[in-house]
Structure 1
Amino acid sequence: MHMTFWWSSEVDNFLIYGFNITSAGYLSLLCICVIFSAFFFEWLRYLQTKQRQRELILRAKQLSLICANENTILIARNLSDPRNPLNITVCDRVLLFGTDLSLWFSLQSLGYILMLIAMLYNGWLFIACIIGGGLGYFVFGQKFMKINMQNCQIIRETYCMATCGEPDILKQLINNFIQM
């Protein structure tokens, strides 16, 4: 068997043994489904980035709340209060993890399926993968990059500040590092 592209409208054993495409009409329908699947893959990547941003914003708000008040014991009590909107409860953690896990599983599965479709070496199906991914990137690419830049800004503003607004502690850590 040669590993070269072929341009026939007949595809034998498409991903599943016995699932054969025998006409140009069915191949066209299959190409439309592949375009939609590749577009859907890009949308899932966008959703995964949005999900990570939600968790990052929640964590940043919690950290800023803790650092904003001098009395961290009272804050710790407030964070354990289930009525606190910044509290991450067990239910919230399970929901965040479940959503992240399901998005990861969907992306991995669909990505491998699209790879297998491209590796059938049918030119029409390969072009359909490229068109769907390109359309998805055209629609979601700028949004994806914008969210990633916002995430970098959130991390920089939240985690790169002096330790809870106490620059003396930061200076001491730097001095200790220099003396080593």
Structure 2
Amino acid sequence: MTIADTSLHADAVRTLGSWVGADAGQQRLRQDYLDHLAAHPDGMWRACRPAHLTASALVLDRAGGRVLLTLHPKVGRWLQMGGHCEPGDLDLAAAALREAVEESGIPDLTLLTVDGRPAPVKLDRHAVRCAGKDQPENTHLDVQYLALAPAGAEALISEESLDLRWFDLDGLPGSTDDSVRELVAIARRLTA
């Protein structure tokens, strides 16, 4: 394991250790994530089975009252930007921001901060087949942030998406899952 591996793991423990979930369910997830990290020194990486941490960010155009969602090619649903941590990521917030910039094409996104530091807004655990259709399901332990887009930001679709669109906060696509709807509701509350 490299220094980058251990520093990203240590940051995740620090970030989750100081984060307070909005309700009992979020607090239980937080503890599950911390237990996972305690049991798995490689718990930040895609190769860790049966679960690993991921980082994502909902991109919000506060001035326009809209969110940017990507139509995920493997899942076939509209989701926030996000994905696996990579060796160059210094911390969870940097991983979430990198994913948001890569997938949105908007270079000057900023993460919502609490007390001057980027902070997660929600946790979400979901089963996926990120290793391929012929591999068993594993679990993403997603740490979700809120990324703010500058006024007039124009998105640019990447090869990681089937489509990329801005949606009004009250006009999400019908197939949007409950987790994304909850994330949008949190974004609305935090930026009102």
Q: Give the TM-score normalised by structure 2.
A: 0.20
Structure with the larger strand share:
2
Taking structure 1 as the reference length, the TM-score comes to 0.21
- Relative contact order (C-alpha < 8 Å, sep 6+): which is higher? 1
Which one has the bigger helix percentage? 1
